[in-house]
């Protein structure tokens, strides 16, 4: 009898929730215009946990009355125009589920919503618990998802999605825009999934996904900048000389001319994404060359002749590949005379002269006021010259009477300098090597060398006169040939005097 007495109280509900009736629903939900929202909801009533009424209907109303119906499972009732097809019950009322889904939200959907349950002999409005729906303007932007990194030449699927869009509502309209799409079929640009094979030239370009929402004029978009990974390319070497401020750029394997002793700076650069690791090798990396520096810069403070022909290689490497470029050092330097000498052979004088330089030097002889070069001969002299690589050799044979004090010199020269060695023919068939003089020798050094030569010449003449006065003629005629040698250090300003120098 007690339940019958309660029915009049339970029918209408009250502002103070009856402990037998409970509604669990958020106080407020927010959904932007054109999007969807799911409102979780559950309810209970007396006997809901153990009874199973024949009829069980639930209703959602907007406003404070029960006239503006928006959703129900009662097929005899229909929702108000403007909400039909957009407000859906998504739970099973017999499982105490009253969840609501709002699709394609409109500004007019804003308001307070109330819930009502109706069973066989019971109806109750949960007036103490309300749902507030807020519908602000659309600001949500779509999202673009894709596996990273984007690799040049590899197909990739990019997906455009709209958080809060409705799966059960009318479909969204997608459009893709961007320079990277100029080679694609336009029909493929209106799907939420785009298959793109990025190219190297697409790196850094913009890609936009536009989404048009149904039921309105709203279009939202998201733009991303493509970060395309690719192997190193356009590798080049910038060359800095110690006396040249403007660098020279090499892209292909070639030689670089540099003067011996000059400083050389090399800077390697490559276009790659991600940035490549740059290293320097002596030789070619393909032949197990030795890494000499792990950096883009390689500084050679003083290039020596021993580095002539060296192959220097810059390698750029990232996870997608590698590339290398090489240059060969061509070290140029002025001539160096090596062991010029003269000796008496029979009734003639035989002199030889060798020089090394890069490029190969030219050798010639000066006899008195005359200039002798090449391969020539006559009754008085014969010249034989040859060259191989950086070496040049020349020999001079003189026959017939030679006057005392005859001047004879060997000269070696190329585009980068000149060096000469002078011989003096002294009485008694002696040959004196006055010294090797590089073209770069300053006036003070030349005067010092000349003074030294004159002093030695005077000393030798005095000694020869004394020998004549003591009747040593026979000893002079039997004197051994005199061989002359010169060692010249390119880094010094004055030659080292030969150890044999005596009269």
Q: Which residue has the tokens 């039909």?
A: 84
Please report the pLDDT score of residue 449 as a whole number: 44
Alpha-carbon distance of 473 to 464, in angstroms, equals 10
Q: If we measure between CA atoms, which residue out of 261, 328, 269 comes closest to residue 300?
A: 261
Q: In the 3-class helix/strand/coil scheme, how is 171-196 assigned residue by residue?
A: CCEEEEEEHHHCCCCHHHHHCCEEEE
Alpha-carbon distance of 278 to 282, in angstroms, equals 14
Please report the pLDDT score of residue 221 as a whole number: 94
Alpha-carbon distance of 372 to 362, in angstroms, equals 12
- β-pairing verdict for 156-161 and 143-145: antiparallel
pLDDT class of 414 with cuts at 50, 70, 90: very high
Q: Which residue has the tokens 């006239």?
A: 67
Asked if 39 and 23 touch (Cβ cutoff 8 Å), the reply is no
Asked if 436 and 445 touch (Cβ cutoff 8 Å), the reply is no
For 345-381, write each residue's pLDDT tens digit.
Answer: 877 889 999 999 999 999 999 888 788 888 888 888 8
Asked if 102 and 86 touch (Cβ cutoff 8 Å), the reply is yes
- β-pairing verdict for 37-39 and 42-44: unpaired
Does residue 343 or residue 445 have the better pLDDT? 343
Tokens found for residue 422: 């002078």
Neighbours of 287 (CB within 10 A): 9
Instruction: Examine the pLDDT at 454 and tell me if it is beyond 50.
Output: no
Neighbours of 89 (CB within 10 A): 18
Q: Percentage of the chain with pLDDT > 70?
A: 77
Buried b (16+ CB within 10 A) or exposed e, 374-398: eeeeeeebbbebeeeebebebbbbb
Instruction: Examine the pLDDT at 477 and tell me if it is beyond 50.
Output: no
Sequence-distant (≥ 6) Cβ neighbours of residue 81 within 8 angstroms:
none
pLDDT class of 219 with cuts at 50, 70, 90: confident
Within 13 Å, how many C-alpha atoms sit on residue 298's CB side?
22
Tokens found for residue 169: 């509502």
For 26-75, write each residue's pLDDT tens digit.
Answer: 999 999 998 999 999 999 988 766 777 888 999 999 986 677 899 999 98
CA dihedral 212, 217, 222, 223 (to 10 degrees): 100
Instruction: Examine the pLDDT at 493 and tell me if it is beyond 60.
Output: no
pLDDT class of 213 with cuts at 50, 70, 90: confident
Q: If we measure between CA atoms, which residue out of 174, 169, 199 comes closest to residue 184?
A: 199
For 134-162, write each residue's pLDDT tens digit.
Answer: 999 988 999 999 998 999 999 999 999 98
- Poorest-confidence range of 14-23, 216-225, 452-461? 452-461
Asked if 476 and 467 touch (Cβ cutoff 8 Å), the reply is yes
Enumerate domains of the chain plus CATH numbers. 2-134 (2.60.40.10), 143-226 (2.60.40.10), 234-332 (2.60.40.10), 346-477 (2.60.40.10)
Please report the pLDDT score of residue 78 as a whole number: 81
Please report the pLDDT score of residue 17 as a whole number: 57
């Amino acid at each position: 009898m007690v339940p019958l007495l309660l029915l009049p109280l339970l029918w209408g509900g009250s502002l103070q929730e009856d402990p037998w009736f409970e509604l669990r629903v958020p106080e407020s939900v927010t959904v932007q215009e054109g999007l969807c929202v799911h409102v979780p909801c559950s309810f209970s009533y007396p006997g809901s946990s153990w009874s199973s009424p024949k009829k069980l209907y639930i209703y959602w109303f907007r406003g404070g009355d029960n006239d503006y119906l928006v959703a129900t499972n009662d097929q005899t009732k229909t929702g108000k125009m403007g909400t039909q097809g957009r407000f859906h019950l998504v739970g099973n009322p017999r499982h105490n589920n009253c969840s609501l889904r709002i699709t394609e939200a409109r500004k007019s959907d804003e308001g307070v919503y109330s819930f009502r349950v109706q069973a066989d002999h019971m109806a109750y409005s949960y007036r103490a618990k309300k749902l507030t729906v807020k519908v602000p303007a659309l600001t949500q932007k779509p999202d673009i998802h894709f596996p990273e990194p984007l690799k040049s030449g590899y197909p990739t699927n990019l997906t455009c999605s709209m958080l809060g869009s409705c799966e059960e509502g009318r479909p969204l309209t997608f459009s893709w825009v961007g320079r990277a799409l100029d080679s694609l079929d336009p029909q493929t640009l209106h799907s939420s999934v785009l298959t793109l094979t990025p190219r190297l030239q697409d790196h850094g370009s913009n890609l936009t996904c536009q989404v048009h929402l149904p039921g309105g004029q709203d279009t939202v978009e998201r733009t991303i900048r493509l970060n395309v990974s690719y192997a190193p390319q356009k590798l080049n070497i910038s060359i800095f000389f110690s006396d040249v401020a403007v660098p020279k750029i090499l892209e292909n394997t070639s030689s670089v001319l540099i003067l011996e002793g000059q400083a050389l700076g090399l800077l390697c650069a490559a276009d790659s994404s991600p940035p490549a690791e740059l290293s320097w090798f002596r030789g070619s990396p393909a032949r197990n060359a030795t890494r000499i520096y792990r950096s883009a810069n390689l500084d050679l403070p003083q290039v020596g002749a021993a580095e002539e022909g060296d192959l220097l290689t810059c390698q750029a490497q990232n996870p997608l590949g590698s590339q290398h470029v090489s240059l060969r050092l061509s070290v140029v330097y002025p001539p160096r005379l090596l062991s010029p000498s003269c000796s008496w052979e029979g009734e003639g004088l035989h002199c030889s002269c060798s020089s090394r330089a890069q490029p190969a030097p030219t050798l010639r002889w000066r006899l008195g006021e005359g200039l002798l070069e090449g391969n020539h001969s006559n009754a008085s002299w014969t010249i034989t010259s040859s060259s191989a690589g950086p070496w040049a050799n020349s020999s001079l044979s003189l026959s017939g009477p030679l006057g005392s004090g005859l001047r004879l010199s060997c000269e070696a020269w190329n585009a980068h300098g000149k060096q000469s060695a002078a011989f003096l023919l002294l009485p008694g068939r002696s040959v004196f090597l006055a010294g090797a003089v590089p073209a770069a020798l300053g006036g003070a050094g030349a005067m010092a060398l000349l003074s030294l030569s004159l002093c030695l010449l005077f000393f030798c003449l005095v000694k020869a006169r004394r020998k004549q006065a003591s009747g040593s003629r026979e000893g002079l005629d039997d004197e051994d040939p005199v061989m002359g040698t010169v060692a010249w250090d390119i880094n010094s300003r004055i030659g080292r005097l030969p150890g044999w120098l005596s009269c």
